[in-house]
Amino acid sequence: MSKSLLSTAEENYLKAIFKISEKRKGTVSTKEISGIVETSAASVTDMLKRLSEKDLIHYEKYKGVSLTNSGLEIATSLVRKHRLWEVFLVERLNFGWEEVHPLAEQLEHIQSEELVNRLESHLNYPKFDPHGDPIPDRQGTITERNQIPVSEMELDQIGIIVGVRNTDTEFLLFLDDIGLVLGTEIMVLKRFDFDSTILIQMRKGEKHTLSNKVAKNINVELKK
C-alpha cells in the first residue's frame, strides 16, 4: 500500500492505533480510537473496515484492532515525522512545548522521506521529542528507557522528569508555571493516603503538592 494513496484521515487512524499500542500491549478497542480521533463509534467502525480492506489493520468486530506490518510501517513513519517536527519547532523556532502538537499534526503528512531524513540530521538525531516520547529512527527502531509515573515513586526516591503522558495545553502550561519541565530533578517527601496527593521537592529546595491526577501524568527516570 502506497502512503500517497491514503487520506489524511486514514493516516490519523493508523497513528492513533500506534499511539495506543505504544502505551500497552494487545489489541486496541473502537472506544479508545474514538477518544483520540474525536468522532463517533459508528464512524470509527466504518474507517476500520476501510483500513482492513486495504490490509493495514487486523480488524474483527468486538475483538479489537491491531496494525498489520504495512500499517505499522506507515504509522511509525507518521509518528517519526510528527515527533521530529516537534523537536524542530521547539529547538529551532522557539515554540513552547504546549504549542507544537497541532502544528506537527499538519507537518507529519509531508511525504518527502528525504526532507525528514535531512531534518533528523539537522537536529543531530534526537531520540525523544519535547514531551519525552521516543522518536523512531529510519529503520523504525525506538529507544526504550526505564521510566515510571511520579505517582509510583516511593518516599525519598529521586527522579528526573523525562516525559509527560498528557500533552494538553493547560496541563503543560501548569507544569511550566511550577517549573516541572523535562530534566527537572525531584524527590518525594510525603504521600497523603486520603487522596494520594504527593509532596515533592525540587533540587533547589522548592516544594509542590501534586494531585494524583498530575502525578500519574509525569514520567521520571529514577536516579541511582
Same domain, 7 and 87: yes
Q: What's residue 83's pLDDT?
A: 97
Same domain, 139 and 169: no
Same domain, 127 and 162: no
Domain with residue 195: its CATH number is 2.30.30.90
- State the Cα–Cα distance between residues 128 and 143, nearest whole angstrom: 8
What lies within 8 Å, CB to CB, of 97 at 6+ separation is: 86, 90, 130, 131, 172, 176, 181
Amino acid at 62: Y
Same domain, 171 and 113: no
Same domain, 27 and 76: yes
Q: Is 132 helix (H, G, I), strand (E, B) or coil?
A: coil
Statement: the pTM of the whole predicted model exceeds 0.95: no
Q: How does pLDDT run across 75-131, given as a tens digit for each residue?
A: 999 999 999 999 999 999 999 999 999 999 999 999 899 999 999 999 999 999 999
Domain count, the chain: 2
Residue 159 and residue 222 in contact, taking contact as beta carbons nearer than 8 Å: yes
- Of 104, 125, 144, which residue constitutes the final position of a domain? 144
Q: Give pLDDT < 50 ranges for the chain.
A: 1-2
How is residue 73 written as a grid cell?
A: 510501517
Range of the domain at 193: 148-222
Residue 64 and residue 44 in contact, taking contact as beta carbons nearer than 8 Å: no
Same domain, 70 and 111: yes
Q: What's residue 66's pLDDT?
A: 92
Q: What's residue 39's pLDDT?
A: 84
Q: What's residue 197's pLDDT?
A: 96
Domain with residue 72: its CATH number is 1.10.10.10
What lies within 8 Å, CB to CB, of 39 at 6+ separation is: none
In Å, what is the CA distance from 30 to each residue of 16, 23, 38, 54?
11, 16, 11, 18
